């Protein structure tokens, strides 16, 4: 059930896209709401959810599922990379490149397809 592309340009939609572009890091729907409301204050969370799923369908956003956290989304199309989450403030940042071996050792009969890698620590903005 692919959505037909008949997109109308709305204040809300633009504000949501702008939030992702300006923050340039994975945002949860709540975070996206807060940032987008700075540009378009009449904006409901339902609209954020609806637009995010459209943008994911259009491959403009990709979901980033940090274990144990609400889903976040980031602008799609970037090179293969992983994510860092600050254990103090919870913010997720993108890491450049990939330090992971291409083919981890798997049990007999298992076929490798891909991987996820998450690093946790303390970000530069948080006090030691």
Partner DNA sequence: CTGCGTGCAAATGCTTTGCAAAGAC
Partner DNA sequence: GTCTTTGCAAAGCATTTGCACGCAG
DSSP 8-state assignment for residue 92: E
| Terminal Cα distance for the chain, rounded | 49
Please select the residue that binds DNA; options are 10, 58, 116, 125, rule is CB under 7 A: 10
Query: Segment near DNA (CB under 7 A), from 42-50, 78-86, 101-109, 117-125?
Result: 42-50
92 binds DNA (CB under 7 A): no
Contacts 24+ apart (CB under 8 A), 76-82: 82/116, 82/117, 82/118, 82/119
89 binds its own copies (CB under 8 A): no
CA distance linking residue 59 with residue 116, whole number of Å: 19
CA distance linking residue 15 with residue 13, whole number of Å: 5
101 binds its own copies (CB under 8 A): yes
Q: Which is nearer to its own copies, 68 or 77 (CB)?
A: 68
Q: Which residues bind its own copies (CB under 8 A)?
A: 63-68, 71, 82, 84, 87, 93, 95-97, 99-101, 104-124, 128
Q: Which residues bind DNA (CB under 7 A)?
A: 6-13, 28-30, 42-47, 49-51, 53, 70-71
């Amino acid at each position: 059930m692919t959505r037909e592309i008949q997109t109308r340009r709305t204040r809300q939609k633009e504000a949501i896209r702008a939030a992702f572009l300006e923050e340039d890091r994975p945002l949860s729907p709540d975070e996206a709401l807060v940032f987008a409301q700075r540009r378009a204050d009449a904006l409901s969370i339902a609209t954020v959810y609806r637009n995010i799923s459209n943008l994911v369908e259009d491959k403009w956003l990709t979901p980033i599922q940090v274990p144990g956290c609400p889903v976040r989304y980031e602008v799609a199309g970037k090179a293969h990379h992983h994510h860092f989450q600050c254990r103090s403030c919870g913010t997720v940042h993108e890491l450049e490149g990939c330090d992971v071996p291409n083919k981890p050792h798997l049990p007999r009969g298992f076929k490798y397809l891909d991987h996820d890698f998450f690093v946790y620590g303390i970000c530069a903005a948080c006090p030691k």
